[in-house]
A and B are shown apart, each in its own frame.
Chain A
Amino acid sequence: MIRDKAQTLHVYRALSGSRTAEQAITDLAKTGPLRGHHSGLGHETIGVAVGCAMSPEDCASLSHRSGMMLAHARGGYSLRDAILAKFGRAPGCYGPTPGRPRALPAIGLVGSALPMAVGVAMTDRLRNRSAVTVAFFGDGAANEGAVHEALNLAGAQRAPIVFVLENNGLAISTPVGSVTAADELVSRAAGYGMPGAVVDGQDAEAIHEATVKALLFARAGSGPTLIEVRLERWEPHAHGLPDLRSPRLIHEARGHDGVALFRANVLARGTATAAELDTIDRQCREEVSTAVAEALRLGMDNAEVAPYDEATALELAYAP
């Protein structure tokens, strides 16, 4: 529950910062300096709300859509880091990095990372650690065999893991309803013997609450939870791909704005003043514009996209 003022401002700062940075990165991809980006506009709420519920010792398996927001919300990954990483000038958020909260390396095939995440959770339990793994996957990945096997195994092992199904309704161009006959993806939870929850992807407080509950459930040894978060992305799957949705539908998607909703709720409850939130917005804008200027000055460094030089790379196929 996001109740006290300090936590409210913390969440708002992460939301505002994520939105501002994501908008800047999306614009950079559209205007040329970046060659590609899977824009996460519209997904800020899920990354921030889940990230704010996690402890540093919890382990995250990130999504390509909301991974940056989650890493930023957990700490140790500034807006400057997020922007410089796109230019190969800082380590990205997809991978274990010293000094940052636990995260698993990203895997380029959707759904394939889930069994690995279950193994991490099983290890934490075998070692009597209280950590929980939080693993994201999308509606597209939901139909992968590895996802089924991971959820079933996690249920059978009562593994301390929370599955977050980031359902934006579209796998690139394919509507979720056209590739599964199930009315609700969350209904699959019952088949694995785990609780399932559906939350509105623009409702940061609801996502946070569902995550806190699932984390407590897992920490208590009760096993996994499947949380289906329903939201819409504002942009095409990736920069350069056409968006097959009608302009009206895209316009409607942009009307579902979790950052604006959280701000309105905070103001309605009186937890913070508009002036306080405006200050945060201004600070985030300044941080992002400074980072963008720095990134453009430095330019793209392809050599540093991978965190090792050419000679080192050739020695890395096998552990010594």
Chain B
Amino acid sequence: MPQSYRPVSEAAGSRLPGSSYIRAINRAMREEMERDDSVVVMGLDVARQGGVFGATRGLYERFGPSRVLDMPISEAGYTGAAIGMAMEGLRPVIEMQFSDFVTVAFDQLATIAAKMYYLTAGRVAVPLVVRMPFGASTSGDGYMTGAGPHHSQSLEAWFCHLAGVKVVMPATPTDALGLLKSAIRDDSPVMFFEHKALYYSLRSELDPLNSAVVPIGKARIARPGRHASVIATGAMVHQALAVAEKLEREAIDVEVVDLRSLVPLDSETLFATVRRTGRVVVVHEAPLTGGFGGELVALIAQHAFADLKAAPVRVAARDMPVPDGPAARASLPSVARIEAAVRQVLRD
């Protein structure tokens, strides 16, 4: 089921927002802005352009220039400004045009946003959401042709290490809607990772009446199973589901856990799935070394060792920049690699 990435030029065109994941993101912002006039949206080309991927489309027309602010290409500048606004009681939702650009703003997030509540002994909170379109792989075996190493990364692990920001990664439109609403209402800074490939590839329509908030810190069993657990994040959830579907034909019953929140982590659901199956594959699109998968395997080894029937296996990108072109397929996790990993933990 290879999915194709729609180029940015089309994304910015009149056909968007046409897919439900990005429509969910858009709807979450719109509904929260209706609900709370302290919510403001800032970023590059987010006003009249509606964002290069179309996520903020229509917000400027609805809420005007005091609520939807175009910023200079100055990620440190506008991230820091949003921190100041959050400290003053606004709830800024800022967009990194591509999550890769957050490198420019990293000092602001690591030094200021992540430490402000602590630094002020709880007197000053930073209710900030940083929306980050990330990733290279699509939900199938494809890749985002042409995006290359500067527009395709999965940088979530850096933020998990900050100890002061929450890290969220929805894999479905329902969670994109519900988690973004939670993120906007949260008083801590929330790093919100939206997989670019999911913007356009997921077609499940949202219930127009169901605007349920999805709590941060709760994982989801995307598919229950008894033989092995695949614990995945972002677009990898859909690759894991494809593997589970395939192995079902061989009477292999794979459980897929969609982590949804990395910080705080739902360790209860994590340990419960290990208890059920005893065989674990962890999948993320970020490079292997220092990736969040290492943390998951470490937690399982420390707290659920007795439940393990086989050594856990990590499936991740190779430790290299995200290749541009066909080499991406060799570097990034794939259905084939996840399938091989599941077979390995079942064999051991």
* B84 lies within 8 A of A118 (CB): yes
Binary per-residue interface labels of chain A (113-129) against chain B in the complex, 1 for a CB within 8 Å, 0 otherwise: 11111111111101000
Q: How large is the interface on A (under 10, 10 to 19, 20 to 34, 35 or more residues)?
A: 35 or more
Let me know if A28 is at the binding interface, CB within 8 A.
no
| Contact status of A146 and B107, CB under 8 A, knowing A123-B88, A126-B66 | yes
**Once bound together, how far apart are the Cα atoms of A104 and B80, in whole Å?**
13
Cβ B81 vs Cβ A122 within 8 A: yes
- Return the contact of B187 from the options A105, A115, A319 (Cβ within 8 A): A319
Residues from chain A with Cβ under 8 Å of B78 in the complex: 115, 149, 153
Q: A153-B74, A319-B187 are in contact. Are A115 and B85 (CB under 8 A)?
A: no
Question: Which of A109, A146, A308 is packed against the most chain B CB atoms within 10 Å?
Answer: A146
Interface flags for B115-132 (1: CB within 8 Å of A; 0: not) read 011111111111100000
Q: How many angstroms from the CA of A118 to the CA of B88 in the assembled complex?
A: 12
Which chain B residues in 307-325 approach chain A with CB under 8 Å? none
**In the assembled complex, which residues on chain A have CB atoms less than 8 Å from the CB atom of B157?**
none
Cβ A95 vs Cβ B119 within 8 A: yes
Contact of B123 among A96, A109, A116, A320 (CB under 8 A): A96
A118 CA to B126 CA in the complex, in Å? Answer: 15
Interface 1/0 per residue, B76-93 and A, CB below 8 Å: 111111111111111000
- Taking CB atoms, residues of chain B closer than 8 Å to A107 are 111-112
> Which chain B residues have a beta carbon within 8 Å of chain A's beta carbons?
40, 66, 71-72, 74, 76-90, 104, 107-108, 111-112, 116-127, 163-164, 166, 186-188, 264
**Sample of 20 further A-B pairs with CB below 8 A, known A122-B81, A316-B121:** A105-B119, A107-B111, A108-B111, A112-B107, A112-B112, A113-B80, A115-B84, A117-B84, A118-B77, A119-B87, A122-B84, A149-B76, A150-B77, A152-B72, A152-B74, A308-B121, A312-B121, A318-B264, A319-B187, A320-B187
CB-defined A-B contacts under 8 Å, sample of 29: A105-B119, A107-B112, A112-B111, A112-B112, A113-B80, A115-B83, A116-B83, A116-B108, A118-B80, A119-B82, A121-B84, A123-B84, A123-B85, A124-B88, A126-B40, A126-B66, A145-B76, A149-B74, A149-B76, A149-B77, A149-B78, A149-B80, A150-B81, A152-B77, A153-B72, A156-B72, A317-B118, A317-B164, A319-B125
| Top-10 shortest CB links A-B | A115-B80, A119-B84, A149-B77, A119-B81, A319-B187, A116-B84, A123-B88, A149-B74, A120-B84, A319-B125
